[in-house]
Structure 1
């Protein structure tokens, strides 16, 4: 099905920031995509408009009951001028998985892809070309029905906004320090942990602040039931290389099914590196540190692709990893995924989608 998406172009184009000044989430392009929903018409009225503030009723359910979900992906400009997206089909599927968990009607995946293509066509001049830069794409859905009853909304708005961003590692990839959180929990099996919903991130902020106060960049979450099994690191999935085997927490319903996570698993399998999806406890990691078999650790996510972990703090125990240096697997995965994203190396998995 081909959708007609009308475009209202801005009459007041913004000045584009210098590419060497780009940071994450500060600048936004001239246009945005909008799609509305109500129970009478379903999803309808797709359109591209000038980027502008929203007007919402104070009783809109998103403000009171948190019905909101989002996605995150990027567009990349290659050396020969092509524009590529990385695995947008996975974002479309995960968006609807989040929609289901939050009682939001599913969005046709073809509409999702056509909206991405149309909006990128309009604002493609905003896609930076400096090495390491990209255009961050933020699709999201909010509940807009003005009603204070605790029930799913009857009205929603799906939107896509775009933001040019700089290189996550302006001075080169480097390891981060991680604080193992033992007091707060992020979510629990049966909760909303597998959904990319705003409340999950709001719940993480207090622990993140406290970790920052003691000099740690991110929080490593433990499971809510036993308080010992590894879940996620901040906004990233996490991997550990123990005695030659790469392990990552299994998807049991309380952590996000990361697209970069999935890509890393595919690559490791392709390279013949042993990889396991299973429960991994903080006690196992500490024991591996003591006996010298904890060889490497890294987080995975859209923003950084790979974040090597150089140190973890668990209570009064400090766990250095690989002498605080980036490991061989981390480097190889980072170089391979970014090479595919920017079109500098072959894409054997057909992960990239070119702007038409």
Structure 2
């Protein structure tokens, strides 16, 4: 509620003195080349993630990495955002379809998104599997044109397939991916019944209520308030690790999970985030609603920065989708803000060769921006 109040009470445009990249647009004749570039960077990022041992969810496999993630040094934190670029290429393909009407680009976009889902299924991560669906939902939301049938199909796919399948895959039965698929199909042969375990897994993933409830239940009775110490990370979290190689982690997520009884005391591998909601309560109790309010104000400013001159360009649309995806992950506040910055930097860096400066003569005045989403993504 605090977040929503902060978001909707902010009506005016942003006055941030930061560069505005609305003056750049993707060159129309360069769009197919940009698609291929994003796809290749995304595939390269995915390959490195696999080789470094960061593809599989904890406990799914004992895969031994070809090289440690740490060998990438300070650039390792940017790697997940490079892997997102193949998803962006699917959105670019769909944008080409909308502009040209050629069925070829529609087929390309569908194939890319099918590949993304199939690629992530063996990882054992629910978030990674539904990520392509989240990106599509945000993209259609920007255009205010989410197809109802597509939305319902996506919802039922996630609820009745993704979550039960991954839940079985990570059930501790040591099933391989193919064995899990065989067992899952055999179990569902008589119908897609949804049991209590599936319900719990779905609810826990969608809103993190179990983690936040545990924080509220045990703070401050067992563990005292932190009084803002977690937010001290905002003073250094934006310093690149290749500059400060010894930069400390924002929080020991494994230690937090064991301390609050979210995992077994002997589990030193699984990491659980308190989410920014739990983090706010751990620091200020119910006064943490002020943090939620300020985050809501900030996100409305972000929205107005992207949309203040009307429909966003394709370049801005991709960045905005990345920003909302980072927010939807509900990590701790310092990591959320850092992730937003990183996804914008990576996207702008990779798109730079394919953009040109556009004329500002006919651009709408800032005060004409509407409160709702816009009907189309400009070229």
TM bin (shorter chain)? under 0.3
TM-score normalised by length of structure 2 = 0.23
Tell me: higher relative CO, structure 1 or 2? Use CA pairs within 8 A at least 6 residues apart.
2
TM-score normalised by length of structure 1 = 0.24
Larger helix proportion of the pair: 2
